[in-house]
């Protein structure tokens, strides 16, 4: 571990860390910024290699074997690099995890999230997917950046516990369909989610609240399902809907 103390917000490293809040720059560098004591310590507990750990405590993280660079900073710098109004006493930068999309051909339960734009909803979906034994998540079409700090916080440390890939390649989905049944959730379908029998290999597609599932996914879907709602409620929050679906699937497949 290398240890360094930085006291000024105009330090070049600090400027680079702030730039990581911009998706384009983050993707160019293949780095992920994480703030929040719970999230960072979750990474440490899970043994993730941390490129930079920023802390205002000289001793607390000195013995962390997975930290490559420990940067001791003041509260002003933590406020500068933080994405929250009340900065955490610790933040970290890790390399973007490399997920091989070919591994998805081995998975049984896959969730496809089509065009999601809300970072908090995405984090909720990831958290629920991890909780209810979904094997992997595909972000299809134009989705919010997976490593948005709001997504990371909403996932409650679960973002790095489940493989997630982003793609707009419909041919990849068609290849997956050779061994997986593609099931799309829609507002109006003759098939009730509660009565549906899930097979061993499937892809469950969920669309954004604003746009729903894209035509290119619907056109190749094997089935459509609807969660029946009471009291003329038109729709559910996407994160809530996905969580209900994952829980119902786990219950059905464990019978």
Edge-to-edge strands of the sheet including 67-72? Answer: 2-5, 67-72, 50-55, 90-95, 31-35
Q: How far apart are CA 130 and CA 22, in angstroms?
A: 27
Q: How far apart are CA 126 and CA 243, in angstroms?
A: 9
Name the average pLDDT for the chain: 93
Give yes or no for residue 236 having a pLDDT over 70: yes
Range name among 51-55, 105-109, 120-124, 233-237 with the lowest pLDDT average: 233-237
- What angle do helix axes 238-253 and 119-131 make, rounded to 10 degrees? 10
Mean pLDDT of 211-240: 92
- Reported as a single tens digit per residue, the pLDDT across 87-133 is 889 999 999 999 999 999 999 999 999 999 999 999 999 999 999 99
Confidence of residue 218 (pLDDT cuts 50, 70, 90): very high
Confidence of residue 84 (pLDDT cuts 50, 70, 90): confident
Confidence of residue 175 (pLDDT cuts 50, 70, 90): very high
Q: What pLDDT does 187 receive?
A: 87
What are the structural domains of the chain? Answer: 2-95 (3.30.1330.30), 101-253 (3.40.1280.10)
Rounded to 5 degrees, φ, ψ at 238 are -60, -40
Give yes or no for residue 253 having a pLDDT over 80: no
Residues 6+ apart with CB under 8 A from 32: 20, 26, 93, 94, 95, 96, 97, 147, 152
Q: What pLDDT does 36 receive?
A: 85
Give yes or no for residue 255 having a pLDDT over 60: no
Confidence of residue 58 (pLDDT cuts 50, 70, 90): confident
3-state helix, strand, coil in the chain (%, to 5): 35, 25, 40
Q: What pLDDT does 96 receive?
A: 95
Q: What pLDDT does 134 receive?
A: 97
Q: How far apart are CA 162 and CA 171, in angstroms?
A: 23
Number of H helices, E strands in the chain: 9, 11
- Reference 110, options 206, 224, 216, 248; nearest CA is 206
């Amino acid at each position: 571990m290398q240890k360094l103390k930085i006291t000024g917000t105009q330090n070049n490293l600090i400027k680079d860390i702030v730039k990581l809040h911009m998706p384009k720059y983050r993707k160019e560098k293949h780095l992920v910024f994480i703030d929040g004591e719970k999230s960072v310590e979750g990474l440490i507990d899970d043994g993730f290699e941390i490129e930079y750990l920023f802390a205002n405590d000289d001793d607390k993280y000195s013995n962390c074997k997975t930290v490559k660079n420990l940067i001791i900073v003041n509260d002003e710098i933590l406020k500068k690099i933080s994405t929250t109004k009340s900065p955490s006493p610790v933040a970290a930068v890790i390399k973007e995890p490399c997920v091989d999309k070919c591994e998805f051909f081995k998975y049984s339960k896959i969730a496809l999230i089509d065009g999601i734009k809300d970072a908090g909803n995405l984090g909720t979906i990831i958290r629920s997917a991890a909780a209810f034994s979904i094997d992997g998540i595909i972000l299809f079409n134009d989705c919010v950046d997976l490593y948005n700090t709001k997504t990371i916080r909403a996932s409650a440390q679960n973002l790095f516990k489940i493989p997630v890939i982003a793609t707009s390649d419909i041919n990849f989905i068609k290849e997956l369909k050779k061994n997986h049944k593609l099931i799309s959730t829609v507002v109006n379908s003759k098939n009730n989610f509660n009565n549906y029998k899930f097979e061993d290999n499937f892809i469950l597609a969920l669309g954004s609240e604003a746009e729903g599932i894209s035509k290119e996914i619907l056109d190749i879907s094997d089935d459509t399902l609807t969660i029946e709602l009471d009291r003329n409620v038109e729709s559910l929050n996407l994160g809530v809907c996905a969580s209900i679906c994952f829980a119902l699937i786990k219950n059905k497949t464990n019978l």
